[in-house]
Amino acid sequence: MSSKKQALFISSLVILWYTSNIGVLLLNKFLLSNYGFRFPIFLTMCHMSACAILSYFSIVFLKLVPIQAIKSRSQFLKIATLSVVFCGSVVGGNISLRYLAVSFNQAVGATTPFFTALFAFMVTLKREAWVTYAALVPVVAGVVIASGGEPGFHLFGFIMCISATAARAFKSVLQGILLSSEGEKLNSMNLLLYMSPIAVLVLLPATLIMEPNVLEVTVSLGKEHKYMWLLLLINSVLAYSANLSNFLVTKHTSALTLQVLGNAKGAVAVVISILLFRNPVTAVGIGGYTITVLGVIAYGEAKRRFR
């Protein structure tokens, strides 16, 4: 009976993880492209505000994980650096959704392992087995093919998406370096607790400078569309839920299971987005994305075997 309960619990976590990640992605696309809400920086600030408030509530009041205190000014500066890079990756991803279909956005995002391996070598000179690097060839080749077959290809959107993917990979490499000592390591929930408020402080002036009419337009949209504020609230809560569920799934499953589920999640997001937004896709585009996903799977397997 206990094993059945455990299986049910893990299944529930995976459903929450999928729902949160895919939900926030699709809502971002809907708000930024279909709803007239063209403020990706402000949207990211809403996400970070929700993460800051809900992280504090979850850790301090619900005791979801033990709170880990910042022990030094040096550690704080490292967290602040990670927060700025994290902001860049999320804002870049949201900007790209204004111009690119979710399906193509996910195809480009699947190249994260390529940038992770590249930055890991450039920054730490860490080398992998040649088989591992060989597995990255189809990862990149697939995106090149998908780009050629993407009917709604937009150069600026593509550049923002690639930049966001690279920033996400750089953040993971940087995190491994900056918070490598045992005394400074933080679990992902505590890291989110400290990064989120810093991100809000970074994004607030950026919003006021780059999106000065955001409040006026948002209030106007709120009057025009009665569900505007509700969608924005749900979207922000889902952003936190995506981080929380990712932490819980990582905690309660193996690395291999997480990798398989992660690859499947991207494919599910692509299928749902095509059904919802009805963006045109080509056989070349689908083929390119498939090659990229297969390359990611091969890369993960090569890393596991030749570690």
Q: What is the pLDDT of residues 87-109, one digit of tens each?
A: 999 999 999 999 999 999 999 99
**Confidence band for 261, pLDDT divided at 50, 70 and 90:** confident
- pLDDT at residue number 257: 73
Q: How is residue 182 annotated by DSSP?
A: T
Range(s) of the domain holding residue 146: 3-306
Q: What is the dihedral of CA 236, 93, 265, 126, to 10 degrees?
A: -120
Given a cut of 80, whether residue 306 has pLDDT beyond it is no
- Cα distances (angstroms) measured from residue 284 to each of 41, 83, 111, 115, 155: 33, 37, 18, 24, 18
- Average pLDDT, stretch 256-276? 84
Using the predicted structure, report yes or no on whether residue 67 has a pLDDT greater than 90: yes
Measured from the Cβ of residue 271, the count of other Cβ atoms closer than 10 Å reads: 11
- pTM listed for this prediction: 0.91
Q: Which of 117, 168, 107 is nearest to 143 (CA)?
A: 107
Segment 51-63, tens digit of pLDDT = 999 999 999 999 9
pLDDT at 1 > cutoff 60: no
